[in-house]
Amino acid sequence: MKYLEDIGKYFMMLGQVFKRPQKGRVFYEALIKEIEELGLKSLGIIMFISFFIGGVIALQTALNLENPFIPKSLIGFAAKRSIILEFAPTFCSIILAGKVGSYITSSIGTMRVTEQIDALEVMGINSLNYLVLPKVIATVFFYPFLIALAMILGIFGGWVAGVLSGLFTGADYIEGIQTTFNPYLIRYAIIKTLVFAFLIATVPSFHGYYVKGGSIAVGKASTQSVVWTTVLIVIANYFLTQMLLT
């Protein structure tokens, strides 16, 4: 029953989040701040992980293609498909769920236990709209650019790994990347990213907003938010793949 109650509270929360902001200037300033906190400060870890994950994918593909009759260009093709379809949108979103989700829950949860949210309500401010909506817009609009960068760096990392290891040539890898390019796969990855970004912003906000207790409760809520956000991303990934690719 608790899960049903939480689901109901989550959708009721969304109803309050997506109301028109009371002051446009205040909302704009909050949005810029959230883009910096949730997006720009995540660039480093996404770039680092994407580059090396792309290299690992290319190396593992090359090491498993021992048949001399299989063209080496297949390595680039397989790496491109793997990075675009799964590793960039899904794996990077899970990383962001851990990094960004814990930050969102702890920041909102701290405001809850220190009664700052109660003060906003007393002043007649829609606290959910004020705190959560800028986060949702910042993630939904910025994360597609972040994932697109992850795709580029992942493919480039595969090329660098092949050239440095000598397992395949750069020309073969580039030929594989150019083989049967389907633009729909990019759209599919961006659609997944938008859904994942929405979950990354709203699920941790829910856990932080409704936390009860003190600082220990905030820590537990941060852990729960990361776990549930990751679970929902995996479930959404399955259903989105089934709907959009089958």
| Tens-place pLDDT, residues 82-127 | 899 888 899 999 999 999 999 999 999 988 888 888 888 888 788 8
Averaged confidence pLDDT in the chain: 87
Q: Is residue 1 part of a domain?
A: no
169: confidence class by pLDDT, cuts 50, 70, 90? confident
How far is it, in rounded angstroms, from Cα 101 to Cα 205? 8
Instruction: Reply yes or no on whether the pLDDT at 69 is more than 80.
Output: no
Residues 6+ apart with CB under 8 A from 83: 50, 53, 54, 57, 150, 151, 154, 155, 158
Provide the residue range defining the domain that includes 168: 23-245
Q: Is residue 61 part of a domain?
A: yes
Distances (CA, A) of 93 to 16, 79, 156, 244: 25, 19, 20, 18
Instruction: Reply yes or no on whether the pLDDT at 8 is more than 90.
Output: no
Q: Is residue 11 part of a domain?
A: no
Q: Is residue 215 part of a domain?
A: yes
Instruction: Reply yes or no on whether the pLDDT at 1 is more than 70.
Output: no
What one-character DSSP code corresponds to residue 42?
A: G
Q: Is residue 152 part of a domain?
A: yes
Instruction: Reply yes or no on whether the pLDDT at 24 is more than 80.
Output: no
How far is it, in rounded angstroms, from Cα 50 to Cα 213? 38
Q: Is residue 9 part of a domain?
A: no
Relative orientation angle of helices 73-82 and 43-64, to the nearest 10 degrees: 140
Q: Is residue 15 part of a domain?
A: no
Number of domains in the chain: 1
Q: Looking at residues 150-173, what average pLDDT do you find?
A: 87
- Kindly report the pTM of this predicted structure: 0.90
Instruction: Reply yes or no on whether the pLDDT at 246 is more than 80.
Output: no
Q: Is residue 162 part of a domain?
A: yes
More confident residue, 182 or 239: 239
